[in-house]
Structures are given as structure tokens and as C-alpha cells.
Amino acid sequence: MLTKNQFNAARSMALTYFEKAGIALTDEEKESIEVADFGLSELENTGLELITYVNTGRCCAKELILFPHQTCPEHRHPPIEGEPGKEETFRCRWGEVYLYVEGEPVKEPKAIAPKGREEAYTVWNEVILKPGQQYTLYPNTKHWFQGGIDGAVISEFSTKSRDEADIFTDKDIQRIPEVGE
Amino acid sequence: MLTKNQFNAARSMALTYFEKAGIALTDEEKESIEVADFGLSELENTGLELITYVNTGRCCAKELILFPHQTCPEHRHPPIEGEPGKEETFRCRWGEVYLYVEGEPVKEPKAIAPKGREEAYTVWNEVILKPGQQYTLYPNTKHWFQGGIDGAVISEFSTKSRDEADIFTDKDIQRIPEVGE
């Protein structure tokens, strides 16, 4: 669980990334930045800061922030409600992202899985995204990603987002965060 | 029809807008910026510059540029192939946009329809978008939009884009552009 202080610090830090990337947010949006620690209470290692611009029954757009070497853990988006699962395109806007996608193994990856949790990560198909570069991930494909040395700002364009349906490899993970007092 | 010179000038100008908005493009993307004059040969008045980041069977993301007072003409996205028509969210990234959406009439609009073509425009529901502000447009709803005094950069998040299926109010319009020698 995140403490209220940790949550506020992460939100303030995320704002500095939006500024560095030149992305304008409304005041309401600044107050609604989501901080996900995935229930692990190790936000610096495993976490994600994000804002959802739109999420209808048909499509979704978000802005994702990764702090330096912060990891969004391995997961997939399974078929749901008669649909083939979430399809998503990650477009790097600022910084650098190391993305790993189900496929061929990689020998010397740029990213290192969070310490003590290595079993929940597979190092395969390494995709390095710099500003202006993007990658489209098809449904139900396992993936994880990590911010580079300066962190990253990433636009996500996708079909409907249902975070509660995501399946994580690490069984300790709980996607919907709890924030303490 | 656009001449090759007009096309190149518009593409170069569009690049300066991406720079002003702090949006990174790859070299390939810079070479694939689309310039649409809608077949009217009055690009300064009626036109749009854009890049499509992704357009799959399920979702689409684009970046749109409007030069100062340049208008994307009134149109709608009808139901197609058993789907309810394109749904789109416009998010202003830079500059200002005047968006008109089927609804209640407006008496003193900020935008003026392109001269000689006023009959093809209806001034209703005025939505003014500044950086960080956005609007979601549901399928088959007539709309048009114009860049403000400095122009605009707009992210569009949507379901599948099928430009050739769009229905324009102005019967002279031809969505898929021709470029001369």
C-alpha cells in the first residue's frame, strides 16, 4: 500500500515529466494523475504514473510516466466480453523505454527486472523506444516495460481499457491500488 | 488539386508546428505528413495537415495541424461495415481550436466559414479547445473545426479511420487529395 505522502510525491514528480515532455494538462487532470504501485509497495522499482484522457466502450488514450528504471510489470490483456483483448500502441514522447514482448529471447537486455521478482519477468523481443518511436502490441501478448536512465513519457492508444481484467505474471500483484492515510 | 510546390510548402510549415508543440517525429514520419486540400485548391482556407500514428481494424491515433484560421470542413462519419461509425476525441496540444458540433445554434461564433462556402457550414455547439482541453465526438455527428489565430496542433484518438467513407456537407469536396507535378 502507498502512503498518502508517497502518493503525493509521485504525483508531483509525474507533473515534472509532463512539463519536460511539453504536454499540457488541465488543472482537473493534474489532480487526477493515477499512481499505481501494483500492490507491491516498491513504487520506485515497480510502478506507473498515468492519466487517462478517454476510455469509452470502443477506444482509449492515456499518457504513461515511468521514473528512471521504474518497471510496469509483465502482464497480458486477455479476451473479454466477446472481444479479443486490449490492443495497444505505445509511442515514446520523451526519454527512453525498454519494452519486452513475447517472442525470441534476448541475451543482454538493457533493462533489469526488479530485484527479488526476476521469476515474473521474461527477457524476450527487446524493443527500445526513443521519442517519436512506437510499437503496436496485439491482444493477449505478454509484455513489460521499463523507463530508461531519465525515465519516460509514453502515449498509449488502445481499445477499451479494463485494468481489472489484466493478468500479471507476478501473483503478488494487485492492479487497483490502495492508498493509505 | 495541390501543386507539388504547395504540397511541399504545407508539409514544411506543418513541421514547424510539430516543433512548436514539442512533438517528436521520426524521419520517416516527417516524410509522410499528409496534406489534405479536400479537392478545393484553397488550402489556406480549407485544409488539414496530419500524420497517422496507427490505424488498425480497432483503433486509430493521429496528430492534426491546422494553420491559422484553416478549416477542416463539415462532415460526419456514418455507420459502416456493421459498426456505428467513427468515434473520435480531439485533444488540443498547442494553439487553439474552434470546434462546431451538431446541436444548439450559436449567435456569435469565433470562427467564420470559408468565404463562398458558407452554405456548407452550420454554426452550432461551439467548443473552444486550448492546450490540454479535449472533446469526444460520437459517431455520425456532423462537425467542423477551425484553427485559432496561431493555428493548432490536435491529437485525435479514435476508432478505425476510413477517410473515404466520410460524408461532407460541401458537395465539391473530395477527401482523398490529388497532388500535381
Residues 6+ apart with CB under 8 A from B157: A53, A54, A59, A60, A61, A157, B59, B60, B61, B88, B89, B91
Give me the mean pLDDT over the B125-141 stretch: 97
Give me the mean pLDDT over the A131-147 stretch: 97
Nearest CB among B25, B93, B157 relative to A157 is that of B157
Nearest CB among A29, A92, A133 relative to B132 is that of A29
Q: What is the pLDDT of residue A175?
A: 72
Phi then psi dihedrals of residue B14, to 5 deg: -60, -40
What sign does the CA torsion over B159, B160, B165, B168 have? positive
Q: What is the pLDDT of residue B177?
A: 65
Chain A contact residues (CB < 8 Å to B): 21-26, 29, 53-54, 56, 58-61, 87, 89, 91-94, 131-134, 136, 155, 157-159
Greater pLDDT, B178 or B109 = B109
E-state strands within B21-179 = 34-36, 48-55, 60-66, 71-76, 88-105, 124-129, 134-137, 143-158, 167-168
Interface-testing mutation among A15, A27, A28, A59, with chain B (most B C-beta atoms within 10 A)? A59
pLDDT > 70 in chain A, percent: 98
Q: What is the mean pLDDT of chain A?
A: 95
Q: Cβ of A58 and B60 within 8 Å?
A: no
Interface-testing mutation among A15, A17, A23, A63, with chain B (most B C-beta atoms within 10 A)? A23
Give me the mean pLDDT over the B154-165 stretch: 96
pLDDT at A8 over 80: yes
Residue with cell 504501485: A37
Q: What is the pLDDT of residue A90?
A: 98
The ipTM (two decimal places) reads 0.95
The model carries a pTM of: 0.96
Question: Residues A67, A6: contact at Cβ < 8 Å?
Answer: no
Gap between the Cα atoms of A88 and A148, Å rounded? 20
- pLDDT tens for each residue of B167-181: 999 999 987 767 776
pLDDT at A177 over 70: no
CA distances from A133 to A12, A97, A128, B10 (A): 26, 10, 9, 23
Q: What is the pLDDT of residue B96?
A: 98
Residue with cell 456493421: B82
Residue length of chain B: 181
